[in-house]
Amino acid sequence: MQPPDLNDKVSDLDRLCSQIKKAQDFSALELGIVNIRNLSELLRSSGWKVTVTLSRRDETTEITQIEPGDTSLRNFGMCFDIGTTTLTGQLVDLNKSNVLGTKTAYNKQATFGSDVITRIIYAREPDGLEKLHCAVTQEMNRMIQELISEHNVDLNDVTCVLCAGNTTMTHLLLRIDPTYIRKEPYVPTANFIPPVRATEAGIKINPRGLLYCVAGVASYVGGDVTSGVLSCGMNDAAATLNVLIDIGTNGEIVLGHKDYFISCAASAGPAFEGSGVSCGMRATKGAIQKVKISSKDFEPAYETIAKAKPRGICGSGYIDLIAEMLKSGIIDKDGKIKPIEHKRIRQSEMGREFVLVFKENADSGSDIVVNDADIDNLKRAKAAIYSALSCLLKHMGLDFDSVPKIFIAGGFGTSVEINNAVNIGLLPDVDRNKIIFVGNSSLSGAREMLLSFEAMEQAEEIARKMTYLELSTEPAYMDEYMAALFFPHTDLTKFPSVKL
Amino acid sequence: MQPPDLNDKVSDLDRLCSQIKKAQDFSALELGIVNIRNLSELLRSSGWKVTVTLSRRDETTEITQIEPGDTSLRNFGMCFDIGTTTLTGQLVDLNKSNVLGTKTAYNKQATFGSDVITRIIYAREPDGLEKLHCAVTQEMNRMIQELISEHNVDLNDVTCVLCAGNTTMTHLLLRIDPTYIRKEPYVPTANFIPPVRATEAGIKINPRGLLYCVAGVASYVGGDVTSGVLSCGMNDAAATLNVLIDIGTNGEIVLGHKDYFISCAASAGPAFEGSGVSCGMRATKGAIQKVKISSKDFEPAYETIAKAKPRGICGSGYIDLIAEMLKSGIIDKDGKIKPIEHKRIRQSEMGREFVLVFKENADSGSDIVVNDADIDNLKRAKAAIYSALSCLLKHMGLDFDSVPKIFIAGGFGTSVEINNAVNIGLLPDVDRNKIIFVGNSSLSGAREMLLSFEAMEQAEEIARKMTYLELSTEPAYMDEYMAALFFPHTDLTKFPSVKL
């Protein structure tokens, strides 16, 4: 900037603003008094050379920070997928558009209830809402701290946080009373809350940094789904009618294309995220992600993430495991472990159990097993998802074959064996090329929005175009669900390619 | 509002916003997370009947608060004139547009320096800026507290504060470093700062209430002047070329009409505000505001505000006092008290002094006097103002007669004797009908802006149209000033109607 002189006595702030306007046009500029308080000294001590970080908030452009010299290369953001069971956070270099690091952790809110309903109830306890709020923000702050210290980033250079979560998670993150989400007529306080300052939600980044929560649709279809639809490009002009299945604690399914989306939710539980099952774990180092079982001697072979000593089983591991146990005849169609005399099959407190890894070979120091109760959990989860998809399509007068692509999202691991997912009846028996695993699409969508205002606007449009189908009032749903409580299904004509 | 049902599941927030939109159109609505956190319960417990207070901040409309039931009659604001020497605050009913109460107090910043320059220097001391900032905000908060308790107003129902002050006062109020105001090329950090949350400046009203500081023009012509110009209607389409003289610690003068304004500042000191003179006081109860002195026996007659026992002398009292002492021959043209043998005239530490009220009749418990040093202070103040006005007109190629109206603003009292103000040379010897006392025009302008966005926009336009003339670089100024250091002036041809 040109310094002032006796012929050019424009105030420091006006001088700065007109310089900013040269680089970036804005209609209204929100300055932030903290940025102005020492502006005069900052401009002079830096020789009138400063770096201004701008944020956009609706139609307003904000000055986030003003630093001496050229710091334009230091510009970072965080994106989060806030799941009921799992939190995932990424530190993103906003200049280079690349991910510097990723952290995942269980959502500590689980201490107060494993699903959204029990947490909504807990929020009414004295300090309940506060505890739920802090449980998630503390974990997020810990992730941010770890990531910035691992990547030598200054906290002040992290100027935005983008969060995708279901409606209850978004309420709890912002400390908004979620009570009426679960009471008829199931209306949330808000499906979309315009950006707030991250500190207002207890998230520690730059004190003026913004936090944006992706817009949701209804009490049981939140911003994580919107984000997933964006990430899969289902709203692209060229895209045909596709389906997205997000296999999380609350399984959400979306059907649609650029002109409309219809969504529903299925209470699947956290089993495919490795929670609520005896040896489950997230898809991280040491998780068994692939399993084969010999039909001859029931001896298993497995593969772990990062080829580490096995610590537990992640979602994709469970899919393989059940499919292989089914194929080798260890379990029946109902999912019960058969009373076979074998060193790996024994009685446990939770029915029979199958030992996948004996403790000598396990990093956990104890046997890695799967038991009747685990399999029952996984069965209910897959049945909830399959029957919801089936109902949604029926509601629209469609069948599985009318959908060109089925995107499968979720945190169960990166390398899911599609055939096995079909074999256990989690996914419908369609041309395998139609099924595309997209990993954590909620997180990828959030990252897109962190990097592009256009993506943000698209997501808001997706949320506006999406309607919600309440399955509990669909007469067919309960029948569909009951029928799906077998591996793969009661009605085998639905799974013609599956040979058991 | 209509409550939701199974056929109308719009979220609480969207429901509220569309209701607000029916009453008040907005392009962007800033909600405030605190308003959303308990919204669902508030709407239901109030039977879907709430009162929303909105604020406007540039192009954004903000929800300030949401209250159950109909509270629309409780809607208040504060306006302040923040003078270097005197603070004045008013509590205003925003529905009825009337003033509920007024408080004045000395600006406690005076402890750290009586004029803006010494305060700017003090701001560089450790914690200096903080102390100056707190000195003014504490006093403002005290005034607000007193006013709301006297008028049974809840602090949360005070949702905006409008402040007019000179550029240094505005910097200190907002805790902005004022250092470069006094350093060449005399550039302030900002002449206008868009509205901030009052809490950010330490002002205690509704936690989401806004604080707006009137736009200034330059380091030595601030928002108080803009506000005064607005209040006098000098920007009205029909107004001719007029002059406003604001007789404060920093005396400011503006000349102009709707198309342009030119301003200058004269360092007058606080004498006419009753500060820095031995028995001076503000124009409040007990202040001597009118004086007559018999030319025969030098016996004075006086009138006090509220007819109370005299406590001191306010600005208008000093104008009368000097004019009468001059007329009766107690002082000479130089302002020195003559060595007359009289019970009221005696030697003091500050030269001779004249006893206006003996302690028996004074509420203060000591004699009320005026001494040589006091008169010298007042003389310098009037000389600064007269010579500045004279220079400004000369600079524009005008003389006193070319100005149809001269507005005189300031806190020296409500009933100034115009002839006396001319007789002592404070005001030019023009047709007395041209001279209009307007009282605290800075405060009246601020009140107009508190009640009208149009007035606010007009004030911003006035500030944009105003230029600043630096008197210290005007060759004629020092000569003019020296020539004015007499009562009424060295050159008596300038005061033809004044008979001494």
Q: Is the distance from CB of B434 to CB of B399 less than 8 angstroms?
A: no
Q: Which amino acid, residue A169?
A: M
Nearest Cα to Cα of residue A231 among A250, A217, A214: A214
User: Range with the lowest mean pLDDT among A197-201, B139-143, B156-160, B269-273?
Assistant: B269-273
Token pair 């029957």 is found at A387
Q: What is the pLDDT of residues B333-358, one digit of tens each?
A: 999 999 999 999 999 999 999 999 99
Q: Is the distance from CB of A77 to CB of A161 less than 8 angstroms?
A: yes
Q: Are strands B50-57 and B60-68 parallel, antiparallel or unpaired?
A: antiparallel
Q: How confident is the model at residue A138, as a pLDDT?
A: 98
Search chain B and give the residue with CA nearest A8. Answer: B185
Residues of B in contact with A27 (CB under 8 A): 59
A-B C-beta contacts closer than 8 Å: 144
Q: How confident is the model at residue B337, as a pLDDT?
A: 97
From the CA of B248, how many Å to the nearest CA of chain A? Answer: 24
Residues of A in contact with B468 (CB under 8 A): 9
Query: Are residues A12 and B189, on separate chains, in Cβ contact within 8 Å?
Result: yes
Distance from C-alpha of A144 to C-alpha of A157, rounded to nearest angstrom: 12
- Per the DSSP assignment, residues forming a β-bridge with B28 are B60
Q: Is the distance from CB of B300 to CB of B356 less than 8 angstroms?
A: yes
From the CA of A157, how many Å to the nearest CA of chain B? Answer: 23
Q: Kindly state the tokens that stand for B171.
A: 């910097």
- Per the DSSP assignment, residues forming a β-bridge with A68 are A50
Q: Is the distance from CB of A370 to CB of A278 less than 8 angstroms?
A: yes
Calculate the dihedral angle through the C-alpha atoms of B44, B46, B47, B50, rounding to the nearest 10 degrees.
-110
Search chain A and give the residue with CA nearest B43. Answer: A189
Positive or negative torsion for Cα B169, B171, B172, B173: positive
Nearest CB among A58, A175, A187 relative to B4 is that of A187
Query: Are residues A188 and B11, on separate chains, in Cβ contact within 8 Å?
Result: yes
Nearest CB among A59, A179, A200 relative to B33 is that of A200
Query: Are residues A13 and B37, on separate chains, in Cβ contact within 8 Å?
Result: no
Nearest CB among B60, B190, B200 relative to A60 is that of B60
What is the ipTM metric for this complex? Answer: 0.92
Query: Are residues B41 and A177, on separate chains, in Cβ contact within 8 Å?
Result: yes
Search chain B and give the residue with CA nearest A13. Answer: B190
Distance from C-alpha of A253 to C-alpha of A398, rounded to nearest angstrom: 15
Nearest Cα to Cα of residue B270 among B356, B438, B385, B350: B385
Q: How confident is the model at residue A25, as a pLDDT?
A: 87
Query: Are residues B185 and A6, on separate chains, in Cβ contact within 8 Å?
Result: yes
Residues of A in contact with B213 (CB under 8 A): none
Q: How confident is the model at residue A240, as a pLDDT?
A: 93
Q: Kindly state the tokens that stand for B294.
A: 């018999």
From the CA of A398, how many Å to the nearest CA of chain B? Answer: 25
Q: Is the distance from CB of A189 to CB of B40 less than 8 angstroms?
A: yes
From the CA of B156, how many Å to the nearest CA of chain A? Answer: 20
Query: Are residues A33 and B59, on separate chains, in Cβ contact within 8 Å?
Result: no
Q: Is the distance from CB of A40 to CB of B189 less than 8 angstroms?
A: yes
Cβ of B89: how many Cβ atoms within 10 Å?
Answer: 26
Residues of A in contact with B186 (CB under 8 A): 9
On average, the pLDDT of chain B sits at 95
- Residue A77 CA: distances (Å) to CA of A47, A97, A150, A268, A442: 29, 10, 15, 32, 16
Query: Are residues A174 and B37, on separate chains, in Cβ contact within 8 Å?
Result: yes
Question: Does the reported pTM lie above 0.90?
Answer: yes
Cβ of A197: how many Cβ atoms within 10 Å?
Answer: 19
Q: What is the pLDDT of residues B412-462, one digit of tens each?
A: 766 789 999 999 999 999 999 999 999 999 999 999 999 999 999 999 999
Residues of A in contact with B4 (CB under 8 A): 185, 187
Distance from C-alpha of A115 to C-alpha of A249, rounded to nearest angstrom: 7
DSSP B395: H
Q: Kindly state the tokens that stand for B225.
A: 């002047």
Token pair 């984000």 is found at A227
A471-474 contacts at long range (C-beta below 8 A, 24 or more positions apart): A471/A264, A471/A265, A471/A266, A471/A388, A471/A391, A471/A392, A474/A391, A474/A395
Distance from C-alpha of B37 to C-alpha of B34, rounded to nearest angstrom: 5
* pLDDT exceeds cutoff 70 at B500: no
Q: How confident is the model at residue B475, as a pLDDT?
A: 84
Q: How confident is the model at residue A28, as a pLDDT?
A: 83
- Residue B310 CA: distances (Å) to CA of B14, B79, B298, B315, B402: 62, 30, 19, 14, 41
Nearest CB among B12, B60, B180 relative to A40 is that of B180
From the CA of A291, how many Å to the nearest CA of chain B? Answer: 45
Residues A440-453 as b/e (b if ≥16 CB within 10 A, e otherwise) read: bbbbbbbbbbbbee
Distance from C-alpha of B372 to C-alpha of B350, rounded to nearest angstrom: 6
Cβ of A491: how many Cβ atoms within 10 Å?
Answer: 10
Q: Which amino acid, residue A419?
A: N
- Helices B441-451, B453-465: inter-axial angle, 10-degree rounding: 130
Query: Are residues B9 and A185, on separate chains, in Cβ contact within 8 Å?
Result: yes
Mean pLDDT, residues B248-261 taken together:
93
Q: Mean pLDDT, 10 residues at a time, over chain A (500 residues)?
A: 94 96 88 95 98 90 96 97 96 98 96 95 98 98 98 98 98 98 95 96 97 97 97 95 92 96 93 93 94 97 96 96 97 96 96 96 95 97 96 95 94 84 97 95 98 97 96 89 96 90
- Per the DSSP assignment, residues forming a β-bridge with A191 are none
Q: How confident is the model at residue A414, as a pLDDT?
A: 67
Nearest CB among A5, A41, A177 relative to B40 is that of A177
Residues of A in contact with B189 (CB under 8 A): 11-13, 36, 39-40
The rounded percent of chain B whose pLDDT value lies above 90 is 91
Query: Are residues A12 and B187, on separate chains, in Cβ contact within 8 Å?
Result: yes
Query: Are residues A33 and B177, on separate chains, in Cβ contact within 8 Å?
Result: no
Q: How confident is the model at residue B26, as a pLDDT?
A: 85
Q: Kindly state the tokens that stand for B218.
A: 């330059």
From the CA of B397, how many Å to the nearest CA of chain A? Answer: 22
Query: Are residues A33 and B196, on separate chains, in Cβ contact within 8 Å?
Result: yes
Residues of B in contact with A196 (CB under 8 A): 33
Query: Are residues A177 and B59, on separate chains, in Cβ contact within 8 Å?
Result: no
Q: Kindly state the tokens that stand for B121.
A: 């220097």
Q: Is the distance from CB of A20 to CB of A54 less than 8 angstroms?
A: yes
* Cα Rg, chain B, nearest whole Å: 25
Query: Are residues B187 and A13, on separate chains, in Cβ contact within 8 Å?
Result: no
DSSP B11-36: -HHHHHHHHHHHHS--SEEE--HHHH
Distance from C-alpha of B65 to C-alpha of B499, rounded to nearest angstrom: 63
Query: Are residues B28 and A200, on separate chains, in Cβ contact within 8 Å?
Result: no
- Helices A441-451, A453-465: inter-axial angle, 10-degree rounding: 130
Query: Are residues A40 and B189, on separate chains, in Cβ contact within 8 Å?
Result: yes
Nearest CB among A8, A36, A184 relative to B176 is that of A36
Q: Kindly state the tokens that stand for A451.
A: 């990097």
B144-148 contacts at long range (C-beta below 8 A, 24 or more positions apart): B144/B78, B144/B89, B144/B91, B144/B203, B144/B204, B144/B205, B145/B204, B146/B103, B147/B78, B147/B89, B147/B90, B147/B91, B147/B100, B147/B101, B147/B103, B148/B76, B148/B91
* pLDDT exceeds cutoff 70 at B91: yes
Search chain A and give the residue with CA nearest B37. Answer: A176
Search chain B and give the residue with CA nearest A37. Answer: B176
